[in-house]
């Protein structure tokens, strides 16, 4: 899978520094945040899946990072990347109600 990463600056003022980069700078310097780790206030993950077809242990997905501009306060997408998402399944235990949907009363 091709590694696609796009980074963006504030669409309002053009600033590239965000609140998270400023607030986490000291923690990165102390080594509490791994070298090369991307920090942001919010992360949204969306799988890229067509209908039908085989599904493996991972599927391609899009990871979008949102943050707030340090200069003008605009919330915007600071980074988007194509990732591999692990598939996980939860098998309900005996007599355990399923998550979501309708429940017995």
Q: How confident is the model at residue 64 (pLDDT cuts 50, 70, 90)?
A: very high
At 48, give phi and psi (nearest 5°): -110, 100
Q: Is the pLDDT of residue 48 over 90?
A: no
Query: Among 22-26, 81-85, 95-99, which stretch is predicted with the lowest mean pLDDT?
Result: 95-99
Tell me the mean pLDDT in the region 11-39.
93
Taking the C-alpha atoms of residue 83 and residue 5, their distance in angstroms, rounded to an integer, is 9
Q: What is the rounded distance in angstroms from the CA atom of residue 53 to the CA atom of residue 48?
A: 13
């Amino acid at each position: 899978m091709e590694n696609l990463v796009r980074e963006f600056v504030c669409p309002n003022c053009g600033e590239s520094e965000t609140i998270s980069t400023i607030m986490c700078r000291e923690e990165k310097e102390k080594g509490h945040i791994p070298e090369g780790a991307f920090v942001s206030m919010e992360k949204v993950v969306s799988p890229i899946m067509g209908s039908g077809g085989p599904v493996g242990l991972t599927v391609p997905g899009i990871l979008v990072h949102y943050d707030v501009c340090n200069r003008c306060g605009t919330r915007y997408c600071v980074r988007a990347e194509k990732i591999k998402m692990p598939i996980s399944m939860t098998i309900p235990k005996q007599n355990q109600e399923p998550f979501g949907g309708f429940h017995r009363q």
